[in-house]
Structure 1
Amino acid sequence: MKKLTLILGMLYASISFSQLQVTGTVTDTDGTPLPGVNILEKGTNNGVITDFNGTYTIEVNPEGVLVYSFVGFGSKEVPVNNQSTINVTLSSGSELEEVLLVGSRALPRSNTTSSLPIDVLASKELASTGQVTFDKALQYKIPSFNTVQTPVNDATSLLDPYEIRNMGPSRTLILINGKRKNLSALLYTQTSPGRGETGSDISAIPTDAIKRVEILRDGASAQYGSDAIAGVMNIILKDNPNEGSATIRTGVTSEGDGETIGISLNNGATIGDNKGFFNYTVDFSKVNLANRPGTVDADGEFNDFVFVDPNLPDGTPKPDAANIAIGNTLGRTSVDNFLSQFPDAGNINGSPETSAAKFLVNGGYDINENTNIYMNAAYVYKKVNSFANYRTPYWRRAEAFNPDDVDGVDFFSYLNDFFPNGSNGEYIGYLPTFEGDLNDYNATIGFKTKKNGWNFDLSYTAGGNSQDYSVNNSHNRNSVLSPSTWVDANDNGVVDPGEITEGSELYQENSPISFDPGGTKFTHSVGNIDIAKLITDQISIGVGAEFRTETFEIIEGDLASYDGGGADSFAGNRPENSGKFNRYNFGGYLDISADITEDFLVNGTIRLEDYSDFGEAFVWKISSRYKFLEDKFTVRASLSTGFRAPTLHQIYTQRAQFSFIPGQGIQVGGLINNVSPQARLLSIPQLDAEESTNFTIGFGAKINKNINVTVDYYNIQVDDRIVLSTEIGATDAGNTPLDDVLQNNNLSDVSFFVNAIDTRTSGIDVVANYRNIGIGPGKLNFSLSGNYVIQNERDGAVNNPTLVADAGQSVVNDTQEALFFTSRPEFKAILGANYDIGKFNFSLNNTLFGPTKFRNQGLQDLESLVGGDPADSDGGSDLSVEFKTKIVTDLGINYNATDNITVALNINNILNVLPEWEFKSLTPTGDAVLNDPDAEKTAFNLITFNGRYSQMSYDGYHFSQLGTLFNLSLNYKF
């Protein structure tokens, strides 16, 4: 027994003494310590992770091999070789193979081993653009990403619409650290790209809080649920507790307006005994108004707002011909006098004044080696001050014209007391404001643990977005009387003469000039459980579930904002159109990823969703990748189905809306929802989910560590696409239910949401990089990326509701189709060069914006402009508007004054390139219009509101109309 004990003791000692204690530090290529790096003795279960200073200690076999791995960084194997100290540097970002968190719900994979096209942008690349907001930075980094700033579109000024692959803002899912971000409360309802849709407010995310961005350019509904038809954007937040910086930035346009000033702070700290961390960002900014109005045409103004045709049809109330002639003469004088004082008609359009305060924190805590909790939270407040169109003194003269008021000058004479007068005391109109207060928040708390090789992730996310509006310097011009009152003076219970006092005028001369039209609010709560395991060295599995509840609220405006017709320029939400609306859904998925061989990967996912308001959706996805030539070339492909649930905004929004109708001036239309009595009266069907089929195929080549290229073809088919219809007007018969709805609500037209069309979109994405080219003492990097749209069009006929079809109209007209399919650049490319030399870094980026085409409202039925018979029109557009191909060049200069201080100068659009457009003829009538200067001028007035939006038309464009922008920043690293 003693011998056995001695032998066992000697064996234990030999084993103990054969182990070697190794210590070291793991850093990134900038020398920053990396906490949480996994260090495993190869072939064993022996492992540790680095602490928050990036250090570690492990006992290993002196002849063993250590494997270092960390999400977002390339793995590295290092032989021990009896070394007691091993310091390791891991490469991240675009330097090596990024470990990606999107693309698979099983275990993460690197970029070159992924079967899907994914863009990865580090925070430095976003900052290098010099753009003020995150969405605008993406505009100049991702070719398939587009955003547009609209000139004047009410609530749209709070949040610019964006999209990937021309699919609209509602078809890209936004994640923060892998968790779903809430939608915005804003529904785009004006004539701009993104019309009828909503998306998350990514402009609210402070750029200094972002570590990197992963953009999956592929349908991913099976993996992530609704809204992922076009792709997924995953925003990874900074998690370094030991580094921080403060940045002061300022800027101005070349015209001397649009001044910006901002300050941001990003910092972090450890928690406890280096077991936890938090990283926080605070950002304050202010952007002043930049105004780019056009010169207004007097002929167009006179014809739209003043001119009374003496040849009006019989039975039309009108003064005699002599009074009409006098009124038209005086009216033209009024127009000319006003425009001589204000050539731009007092309009303000361009970039609104915006103030923002942003707060964000990201943190985590290690309970033990296998379990940790994590959290992040953000709050953003944004104030936007914009304007409606200027109300000139002659706008409604024809409406007020009568034989007793032949010159129409006395139209609402009380307005002289309401608003400022001109230099001679005359009424000169007024400029209503549109002001928005936006609040956006999101927060996630989660728990991760590993047990028996299984990875468990449980989380809860809450988020919301609210937008409250204000209208100032306006008035309610409608005649509404207060209720009559009865005072029973004789106390006899009988109405005697003189006891009833008629109601008084509530508005017009008694109207307030400030209004609270209400607003909108959206919130969601999301619970997730995700489980993944590496079953074998070749197979990993992921399974999970999500429960989500959503609430959309339409906030009632004050009485004066909607009563009668409401505040001029923006009517408030009526009580019957307001309220809270809720739904919930449950979804579950199964994901299997199998390496058939070392080079051949197959990944499959299935998902089932069940919505409380429209039922179930089942979708699937399969993708594959094959590597060859020693991993230098990769071919990949995916095929999937997808869906997008109609948003609560689309189902329940109902309101009156002011808009400019070419040739008719300002009109009030109605947006009716699909569950309203009006919808039932008009037999408008309730909304169903969109369904999609996505196909992607491509290849990647990694020639060496400095040269790589990827090319991907995509094809996206969407069935039952949800659109906001065009404005449906009265019928010729005048006695249909449609006419009744218009007449009873004093509306010029109605619009509504409907599953109206099937669409097909296809194109090619290209990304290429060539790095570390030695030129003199510095290094030069090149990048080229591009997107080309092959096909983007309607597939089949429009699905019109019966009432619309019977009225000879369509819910989708040429203008709508242009907004869906041709209002984004046909192609876009970004060529960037970056040169590092000493303490300087120089960057030069050229962004090519291909042509975009609009068929603006008003360009149909132009026969009358060239002496033709309007009855001969086919109802289609005779002209289109094409924005020309342009290249925008941005220059950036960074100077590292010390190890801690960096000064950056960005000159965006250094060559002062501005959007330019021209008419294109589509019919013989269009040819005749372009050959007639007067007719072409009329067409120009139709789409620019008589020249107010001469540079951008009424629909906006994809790069700034403000010209050259100068931005200067000073960054101090702690």
Structure 2
Amino acid sequence: MKKITLILFVLTTSFCFSQQTVTGLVSDSDGSPLPGVNIIIKGTNEGTTTDFDGKYSIEATSENTLVYSYVGFNSKEVLVQGQTTINVTLSSGAQLEEIILVGSRALPRSNTTSSLPVDVLPAKELASTGQITFDKALQYKIPSFNTVQTPVNDATSLLDPYEIRNMGPSRTLVLINGKRKNLSSLLYTQTSPGRGETGSDISAIPTDAIKRVEILRDGASAQYGSDAIAGVMNIILKDNPSEGSVTLRTGITSEGDGETIGISLNNGATIGENKGFFNYTVDFSKVNLANRPGDVDAEGEFADFGGTRVGERLQDIQGFLARRPDAGNINGAPETAAAKFLVNGGYDINENTEIYMNGAYVYKKVNSFANYRTPYWRDIQDFQYLGNFFPGSNPLTTGVTFTDNNGNTFNGNGYDGYVPTFEGDLNDYNATIGFKTQKNGWKYDLSYTTGGNSQDYTVNDSHNRNSVFAPSFDDVNGNGVPDVGEEFVPVELYRENSPVSFDPGGTKFRHSVGNIDVAKLISDQVSIGFGAEFRTEVFEIIEGDLASYDGGGADSFAGNRPENSGKFNRYNYGGYFDISADITPDFLVNGTIRVEDYSDFGEAFVWKLSSRYKFLQDKLTLRASASTGFRAPTLHQIYTQRAQFSFVPGQGIQVGGLINNVSPQARLLDIPRLDAEESTNITVGIGAKINQNINFTVDYYNIQVDDRIVLSTEIGASATGGTPLDQVLQDNDLSDVSFFVNAIDTRTSGIDIVANYKNIEIGTGKLGLSLSGNYTIENERDGDVKNPALVSQAGQSVVNDTQEALFFTSRPEFKAILGANYDIGKFSFSLNNTLFGPTKFRNQGLQDLEGLVGGNAADSDGGSDLGVEFMTKVVTDLGINFNATDNITIAANINNIFNVLPEWEFKALTPTGEAVLNNAAAEKTAFNLITFNGRYSQMSYDGYHFSQLGTLFNLSLNYKF
């Protein structure tokens, strides 16, 4: 019996002191996981840290005590006592608000302990804006973020340009769960903000799939590679498997158009015995056309399109405009239908390894319109067949028969002009699969990401008005082949034989990205990270059908010619090393270096150094960073070549040519190939967390970009003629050419302010106040324009006043958002006031205005005599949420409640400009020049400020499962 007792004692003792695997999750009091938490076996140096999802695994005995510690939280001790799963919640009065994953390639940090300025927007704040798409929600939440519907649509209607810190859409890198999202295949070529650039289609991401958004407002090329000069947007997807909801949305503008309806479903489920999860979102929406044309001026139309024939007399123009004051133009927000699908998931293979994945597919159908072709612009006497193509109710052509030079007669059929449609089908997808594992404190993350975007275009209600002949013969013998004596007779392919529907082709872009990321907490003070990336990119220009480009192509939008179409690709390797060291508990230093090697332009080496110092018991934080960066020219910029229809003030719609830098035309004109942009970023800021409810940050930034890539202005014929430029224009029947070039160096600086005061008790409710703002100190060209020789010889510049305004002053000089949220009982109220500072333009057509006031145009210096300034405005949004039950929430939003619309005015820049503004007739002519005779009176043809749609009413019903 004693022997048995002794054996049992030994076995029990051995069991008590034998090690076992303890796993668990460490989170804050709100349930959010905490990555990077230190877990130490008390009394030893053995330990581990939580991974990016707050999970950990450690070997311990039953009698061990685990100590959980994290900066800003109270430490916690837990006795194992045979437990194999220990979940811990850390909390304290100094609890940090959020853990951010963007900004460091070592281990994640909290926002207030980060050395970099990061905005964090939870899903609730995005939804509270009442905006239909993700990009528009950011517009009214992030002061340094700007986007808006452009006045002139075409392909731009598929994706609105956006940017951070006035740096253009190409210089903000978009990540999804930390992985690079694909670019759009769209290249902005209209004379509007964002001209010559491309970006990711963030509007395609369903808002209901987003958990939060992290926006790093600092250059981050060293950490993430190309496109991160202005900053990084990291979109974190929902990962909750147990919560789900369905939301029904509807809305309308105060003008009774732009009706919206949508439904979205977000739900999730666990995999196995809580070993994994998936969360999915399905979103369908439809937005109807919202039209905001201006009244068209008859005298301006007569100056552009007048003549001596009956259909072109001023009174006939006035008669048409009496029937159609807006000249039939349709401009505003196009009709859009969208279907969006997204899934996010993960699975724990064992205690130390998990696999993860996410994928999204989006389809958008957009219907927009070109400028209306009036009956005096496309005259039936020049194109007699138009009466058959586009019958109407014009009294001048109803019952009238026209005869051409060959004696053929045509019925007018009430021809009253026509409006070509521009229809786009967009497909966008992205997917990531990867796995994370840890061993001996090393954390490994291996992933593969793919993504793509395609845009296919259709032009309807148009025609090919060009005379193109094909050889034919009089087949007397009826054998289908030319015999001796049978006469060849040319047959006109288009005009009366033209189709009215065209396939002009489209564009595609896709990439594949492989990432290896490794991180380790070397000690309580030092963490390191390093990794590598391999990326391939393919850009494709899809050929249009013959009729869409032949001879000049479809009226309004010419198709892609075979010689301008094809697939183009490149690849690059990148590697980085990152180290983060807490020199003291208050003093942090973070450094990163990166090397990239591109197959098409070579290598880039960049670095970043940032630091943070906390004092006054962590209430104040000083932070600063300095870095270099780069942006590779996109394949779109290198290879795009096509005919471009655009409005030329005083001349109507003209056809220009966009030639790429690797074409025969570029060689003839000696246009240099594109190289990468290089940047230097400096950020200095201070953050204060007075208490749990009051905090603010102020950051100064300075961004220097060298060799900035721009799409040149339209370069026309030289004054003397006979140059290679003149020959290219003549051979291709073009009015002008444009091309991409590393033309300018720029400097951008400004200040960002973010302040919050929450949990203010008023009555039985709580009020939260927020104030954020961005002020641009300087945004300008640094040095002279780097003009190619042919442009200088022609006495022109690739960057004129219009271009400079689009680059530097077309975004608000300052922007501020004052918000208030009040929660009381089942109600939640939000009131946001967004202040849009002035934007300034140098529209085309405002140069050399001496002739309008009797001056000598030969005395002009070629600069703008007048500028256009959109005045400072405040847009107020009201939101009301009612939690009817635990499961049902009704939300009503009135955006732009006071129906504030953009307003602009002329600003005289020269004595000639002053004279124009003092002459009513001259000022009216200037107005016509920049608004296409009033068609775009609210925004001007090149203009931008904020939404031109006025008040928007939105209502949603959310049901939680």
Q: TM-score range by the shorter chain?
A: over 0.9
Is the CA contact 1:265–1:281 (under 8 Å) kept in the aligned structure 2? yes
Q: CA deviation at 1:224?
A: 0.4
Say yes or no: does 1:950 pair with 2:948. Answer: no
SS in 1 for 2:806: helix
Deviations along 1:496-543, whole A, 9 cap, x unmatched?
A: 44x023121111011100000000000000000001111122111111
**Which residue does 2:715 correspond to in 1?**
728
Q: Does 1:808 align with 2:795?
A: yes
8 Å CA contact 1:41, 1:60 repeated in 2 = no
The equivalent of 2:410 in structure 1 is none
Q: 1:850 aligns with which of 837, 859, 869?
A: 837
762, 783, 787: which one aligns with 1:796 = 783
| Partner SS, residue 552 of structure 2 | coil
| The one of 322, 336, 357 aligned to 2:339 | 357
Separation of aligned partners in 1, 2:35 and 2:592: 29
SS state of the match for residue 248, structure 2?
strand
Looking at structure 2, the residues matched to 447 and 22 of structure 1 have their Cα atoms a distance apart, in angstroms, of 21
Asked if residue 433 in structure 1 is aligned to residue 436 in structure 2, the reply is no
Distance 1:617 1:82 in 2: 51
In the TM superposition, residue 421 of structure 1 has moved relative to its aligned partner by 1.5
Provide closer, same or farther for how the CA distance between residues 727 and 670 of structure 1 changes in structure 2, counting only shifts above 3 A. Answer: same
Letter aligned with residue 446 of structure 1: G
- For 1:176, the equivalent position in structure 2 comes to 176
Shift in Å at residue 13 of structure 1?
A: 3.0
Q: Separation in 2 of the partners of 1:377 and 1:38? A: 29
1:21 CA displacement: 13
1:381 corresponding residue in structure 2:
363
- Match of 1:563, SS state, is helix
- In the superposition, relative to structure 1, how do residues 562 and 370 fare at CA in structure 2: closer, same or farther (>3 Å)? same
Deviation at 1:628, TM superposition (A): 0.7
Q: Secondary structure of the residue that 2:469 maps to in structure 1?
A: coil
SS at match of 1:421: coil
Q: 1:966 to 1:810 in 2, by over 3 A?
A: same
**Preserved contact between residue 42 and residue 67 of structure 1 (Cα < 8 Å):** no
Q: CA deviation at 1:422?
A: 1.1
Structure 1 residue 577 and structure 2 residue 564: aligned?
Answer: yes
**Does structure 2 conserve the Cα–Cα contact (< 8 Å) formed by 1:804 and 1:811?**
yes
Q: What does the per-residue CA deviation read over 1:865-922, in whole Å, with 9 as the maximum and x for residues that have no partner?
A: 0011111111000000000000000000000011111000010000100000000000
2:449 counterpart of 1:461: yes
SS at 1:537 equivalent:
coil
Match of 1:558 among 536, 540, 545: 545
Q: SS at 2:927's partner residue? A: helix
Aligned to 1:370: 352
Call closer, same or farther: CA 1:49–1:95 in 2, change over 3 Å.
closer
Residue type matched to 2:599 in 1?
Answer: S
Contact 1:34 1:50 in 2 (8 A): no
Per-residue deviation at 1:427?
1.7
Q: Distance in 1 between matches of 2:415 and 2:825?
A: 64
Q: 8 Å contact 1:219–1:640 — kept in the other structure?
A: yes
Residues 285-321 of structure 1 show CA distances to partners (whole Å, capped at 9, x for unaligned) of 00000011100000000001114xxxxxxxxxxxxxx
CA–CA distance in 1 between the matches of 2:392 and 2:469? 28
Corresponding residue to 1:751 among 713, 722, 738: 738
Partner of 2:282: 282
**Contact preservation (8 Å) 1:296, 1:343:** yes
CA deviation vs aligned residue, 1:251-282 (integer Å, no higher than 9, x gap): 00011110000000000011112111100000
Maintained 8 Å contact 1:52/1:270: no
* CA distance in 1 between partners of 2:575 and 2:57 (Å): 39
CA shift, 1:39, in A, is 9.1
In structure 2, do the counterparts of structure 1 residues 630 and 391 end up closer, same or farther at CA, with 3 Å as the change threshold? same
Question: Any residues of structure 2 matched to 1:33-432 within 5 Å, and which?
Answer: 40=39, 43=42, 45=46, 64=65, 66-67=67-68, 77-80=75-78, 96-307=96-307, 326-327=308-309, 331-396=313-378, 410-422=381-393, 424=395, 425=398, 426-432=414-420
Distance 2:555 2:233 in 1: 40
SS at structure 2 position matched to 1:485: coil
User: Does residue 474 in structure 1 map to residue 459 in structure 2?
Assistant: no
AA paired with 1:741? V
Q: SS of the counterpart of 2:470? A: coil
Please state whether the residue corresponding to 2:529 is helix, strand or coil: strand
- The C-alpha deviation readout for 1:645-687, integer Å capped at 9, x for no partner, is 0000000000001000000111000000000000000000000
In structure 2, the partner of 1:504 is: 491
Out of 676, 681, 699, the position equivalent to 2:668 is 681
Q: Give the match for residue 316 of structure 1.
A: none
> Using a 3 Å threshold, how does the CA distance of structure 1 residues 220 and 330 change in structure 2: closer, same or farther?
closer
Describe how 1:646-685 pairs up with structure 2 within 5 A.
646-685=633-672
Q: CA deviation at 1:364?
A: 0.4
Q: Quickly say closer, same or farther: Cα 1:840–1:74, change in 2 above 3 A.
A: farther
User: Which structure 1 segments of 5+ residues have no match?
Assistant: 308-325, 398-408
- Please tell me the residue identity of whatever aligns with 1:291: N
- CA change 1:477–1:827 in 2 (3 A) is same
CA distance in 1 between partners of 2:773 and 2:127 (Å)? 21
Aligned-residue Cα RMSD (Å) equals: 3.0
Q: Aligned residue for 1:775? A: 762
Residue 791 to residue 115, structure 1, CA distance change in 2 (3 Å): same
Matched residues in 2 for 1:828 and 1:416: separation?
51
Determine the C-alpha separation between the residues in 2 that align with 1:531 and 1:293: 55
Contact 2:96 2:110 in 1 (8 A): no
After TM superposition, the score normalised by the length of structure 1 is 0.92
Alignment-mate amino acid for residue 416 of structure 2: I
Letter in 2 for 1:267: N
Q: What is the alpha-carbon distance in structure 1 between the residues aligned to residue 949 and residue 571 of structure 2? A: 43
- 1:20–1:82 CA contact under 8 A, matched in 2: no
Asked whether the equivalents of residues 51 and 275 of structure 1 are also in contact (C-alpha less than 8 Å), the reply is no
Deviation digits for residues 425-461 of structure 1 (CA, Å, limit 9, x no counterpart): 2321000000000000000000110011111000000
Task: Work out whether residues 305 and 395 of structure 1, in 8 Å CA contact, stay in contact via their aligned partners in 2.
Answer: yes
Query: Residues 378 and 947 of structure 1: is their aligned pair in 2 closer, same or farther, counting only changes over 3 Å?
Result: same
- Give the structure 1 partner of residue 405 of structure 2: none
1:466 and 1:286 map into 2 onto residues whose CA distance is 20
Task: Pick from 587, 605, 614 the counterpart of residue 618 of structure 1.
Answer: 605
Unaligned 5+ runs, structure 2: 399-413
SS at match of 1:804: helix
Which shows bigger deviation, 833-842 or 530-539? 530-539
CA distance in 2, matches of 1:708, 1:33: 20
Higher mean displacement: 237-246 or 15-24: 15-24
Contact 1:26–1:50 (CA<8 Å) still a contact in 2?
A: no
Q: 1:821 aligns with which of 793, 808, 811?
A: 808
Query: What one-letter code is carried by the residue in structure 2 that aligns with 1:685?
Result: P
Equivalent in the alignment of 1:865: 852
Query: CA offsets, 1:204-242, max 9 Å, x none?
Result: 000000001000000000110000000000000000101
Work out whether residues 35 and 108 of structure 2, in 8 Å CA contact, stay in contact via their aligned partners in 1.
Answer: no
Displacement, 1:81? 8.2
Displacement of 1:488:
8.7
Once the two structures are TM-superposed, the CA of residue 957 in structure 1 deviates from its matched residue by 2.4
2:435 counterpart (443, 447, 465): 447
Counterpart of 2:526? 539
Deviation readout 1:374-429 (Å, 9 max, x if unpaired): 000000000000000000011156xxxxxxxxxxx612111000002215323210
- For normalisation by structure 2, the TM-score amounts to 0.93
Q: 1:514 aligns with which of 496, 501, 504?
A: 501
Q: Which amino acid aligns with 1:339?
A: L
Task: Choose the corresponding residue for 2:880, options 893, 904, 919.
Answer: 893
Letter in 2 for 1:342: R
Q: Judging changes above 3 Å, is the alpha-carbon distance between structure 1 residues 970 and 58 closer, same or farther for their aligned structure 2 residues?
A: farther
Contact 2:21–2:59 (8 Å) recurs in 1:
yes
Q: 1:181 to 1:152 in 2, by over 3 A?
A: same
Percent identity, aligned pairs only? 79
Distance 1:117 1:339 in 2: 54
